[in-house]
Amino acid sequence: MNKNIFVACDTSNLNKVRKIIRYTQSKKIKIGYKFGLEFFYSKSGRSFLSKMSKKKTIFLDLKLNDIPNTCASAINSLKDLKNIKYLTAHINGGYEMLKNIKKSSKKINKKLKILGVTVLTNFSEQSLKKIGHTKSIKNLVIHQAKLAKSVGLDGIVCSAKEAKLVKKICKNMEIVTPGIRLVGDNIQDQNKNRVVSPKSAFDNGATAIVIGRSITQGNIKKNIQRLIKSLK
């Protein structure tokens, strides 16, 4: 089953992260691990990542968004973390910021892939308008995907609801979709209109998915089996 799955380790608890990694091992699906701000900013988070096996695929979800020089310096500060494969940046940071991030990333690790983050999956049309956007989610994501492609980013992070649209623009780029839930699970803080099942995400054109609480809450081993079954 050649599908890329990133399990979101959204916790600052090292023991829980070790448990997630230990219980999600499978020969049937390709598992990587996504670490966001909560874990990276924790007391032992960065140290843990630096010691992780190079056999594990690490997705560092920092969603960089600042002035170009600051982002370039932030990238440089990650040069000791040689085992990171993916790093995220907000596309709304603009062309110059994204260009600097891409350029800086190649200086520290030629294999590091930069993914551009579009509209977050918890956003609705109404919440987008509240921060001043006049475009619909769909049109904004299309605009952002075109910008990311022009910069030469390696991939896009978007809702599976927009994955088909993004795939038409970014044909040779990776498309990573968060906001994934196993059928029947609570969507919690995600927007109900932008959450899909793992199979639907891949059917819509995703090259990889990010799935968190559907796997990490409850019995992790059983949840992994549910995931495998859902993808058949």
- Residue pair 224/180 in contact (Cβ under 8 Å)? The answer is no
- Residue pair 102/120 in contact (Cβ under 8 Å)? The answer is no
Find residue 88's DSSP bridge partners.
Answer: 115
- Residue pair 138/165 in contact (Cβ under 8 Å)? The answer is yes
User: How far is CA 229 from each of CA 9, 23, 145, rounded to the nearest angstrom?
Assistant: 22, 17, 32
CA angle, 57 as apex, 9 and 153 as ends, to 5°?
Answer: 100
Task: Tell me how far apart the alpha carbons of residues 23 and 29 are, in angstroms, rounded to a whole number.
Answer: 13
Task: Tell me how far apart the alpha carbons of residues 97 and 91 are, in angstroms, rounded to a whole number.
Answer: 9
Q: Which residue has the tokens 């959204």?
A: 10
Catalytic residue among 16, 30, 56, 63: 63
Strands 58-64 and 30-35: parallel
Q: Is 192 a catalytic residue?
A: no
Any idea which residues carry the catalytic annotation?
A: 63
